Amino acid sequence: MRFWLVTLTALFLLAPSAAEARKVALIIGNGDYANTSRLANPANDIKIIAASARQAGFDDVTVAADLAVNDFQKAMRDFRAKADGAEVAMVYYAGHGIEAQGKNWLIPTDAQLKSDLDLPYEAINLDRLMESVSGAQIRMVVLDSCRNNPFGRSWRSGTRAVENGLAGVEADDVLVIFAAAPGQTAADGTGGNSPFATSLAKRLPQPDVPVQLLGGLIRDDVLKATGGSQRPFVSASITGTPVYLVPRAAATSAPAASGDRAAIEDLLWKGALTENSVRAFSAYLAEFPSGKFSAQAGDNIGRLLKNPAAALPTPTAAAAAPAPAAAARKFILSNLRVECVKLTGRLGLGLPDQLFLRFNTGQRFPEGKSDIYSIKKGESWVVPENFEFDQPVSFQLREFDDIGGSDNIGTIDIGDTPGTFTRTLDGDASDYRVTYTLTVG
């Protein structure tokens, strides 16, 4: 008896908890709307996404269709409990989604939305949906919902809603994939599934694809399928160490394309530099024993073993850059000018707006958290900085509010076409004209 008690106790201690090393997914499709245009594809899209999630190793997949607001809220609460402690938690939503009041809203099937003031009561703030994955190690939110605002025409004049698409978001430790770039709309497609859902279903169970590269692959698929008219958008702020949903392909299987392997190597190396640990550099060497950074990885391991507290020197440009044949493009944002056409009118006193810029890379200008640029109607803010990126980005023009937070006046996706552009932003009851130059080299 004592032997069995000891054995059972040991087995219990060694067994993983219910939520440990689990992959959970919540798949929502809203199409049968009672008070606005119905959508045909979400019912089909959630079927192929659920099937691909199971194929990708998600062991708990919850599928929900045509959710009214109370059912939507319950689904999020229930999933939050499942996601707590999970290895990966993913939410996929297909249905109407709009930007209004500087926020993104997902629309339940019973919403009436006679005014934008009804949004907090009848719609789902995207922030609440993102909270439902907050307890997982790897968090994914996928939104096939960047459609026209079907309610906006009936809203009062001067509403702070926008007509098309969703706004970009910034969230720490979350991978967010939008079906279309900020301000754009997503197509339902001519078949039974949207181009975005078709690509996600194909890519999700694909071996040898880190989740960090998932959005880029989907973007390329959708651009090709729509002739360039729809470009998915990715907002990622997660670990640089590659995370694979599907176990790595066996050594006997066909090798990945050289371009994919090069991207994976760069991603793994960046993750190792960020983590700066023996484990991370050893993981790089295990995957790429003869890689272009293998000598540096060995040196860093030796340095850390001698002095674990030693800080890793900043890599030289030659060491950090990809091979010359795969040199990355540079996107330079310059000549940025913000002109105030109409003020928010804070507190009804006509006070100046207090502005700053926030990029989806996490960069902010002015850099200090309390720094702002004060502007009045008819004035212009000539931003005295150029900004350089290694990929197309988006940025928000934000205004400090009167309760210590900030509101999004509008989001601009710079894209990848060089030139000088003018955009009008009219969120939060303001009107701004933004001019900028994009150089691609």
Asked if residue 56 lies in contact with residue 205, where contact means CB atoms within 8 angstroms, the answer is yes
List residues bridging with 346 in a β-sheet.
351
> DSSP strand E in 101-185: where?
103-106, 124-125, 138-146, 175-178
Which residue from 187, 83, 60 is spatially nearest to 131, judged by alpha carbons?
83
pLDDT at 29: 93
Cα–Cα separations (whole angstroms), residue 257 to 225, 260, 342: 21, 5, 52
pLDDT at 304: 75
Which residue from 413, 300, 291, 400 is spatially nearest to 356, judged by alpha carbons?
400
**pLDDT one digit per residue (tens) for the chain, 441 residues:** 443 343 334 334 434 444 344 899 999 999 899 988 888 888 989 999 999 999 999 989 999 999 999 999 999 999 999 999 999 999 999 988 887 766 788 999 999 888 878 888 999 988 889 889 988 988 999 988 765 556 655 554 333 333 454 555 555 568 888 887 765 666 666 667 888 998 999 999 988 888 878 888 898 888 888 888 888 878 766 666 677 888 765 433 444 445 556 666 666 676 666 556 776 677 677 667 788 888 888 888 877 777 655 544 444 333 344 434 444 578 999 999 999 988 765 444 567 888 889 887 767 888 765 677 888 888 999 999 999 988 888 888 888 765 455 677 888 888 888 999 999 887 766 789 999 999 998
* Rounded distance between C-alpha atoms, residue 359 and residue 411, angstroms: 9
pLDDT at 271: 60
Asked if residue 198 lies in contact with residue 255, where contact means CB atoms within 8 angstroms, the answer is no
Which residue from 228, 275, 239, 236 is spatially nearest to 359, judged by alpha carbons?
236
pLDDT at 4: 37
**Element housing 131 (H / E):** helix 126-131
pLDDT at 149: 58
> Quick count: other Cβ atoms within 10 Å of Cβ 8?
10
pLDDT at 88: 92
* Rounded distance between C-alpha atoms, residue 112 and residue 35, angstroms: 6
Helix and strand counts by DSSP (H, E) for the chain? 11, 18
pLDDT at 41: 86
Asked if residue 394 lies in contact with residue 170, where contact means CB atoms within 8 angstroms, the answer is no
List residues bridging with 124 in a β-sheet.
106
Dihedral sign, Cα of residue 333, residue 336, residue 342, residue 345 = positive
Q: Phi and psi of 311, rounded to 5°?
A: -80, 140
Residue 198 CA to chain centroid, in angstroms? 19
pLDDT at 63: 95
> DSSP strand E in 206-312: where?
233-236
Asked if residue 64 lies in contact with residue 45, where contact means CB atoms within 8 angstroms, the answer is no
Asked if residue 143 lies in contact with residue 97, where contact means CB atoms within 8 angstroms, the answer is yes
* Rounded distance between C-alpha atoms, residue 346 and residue 134, angstroms: 33
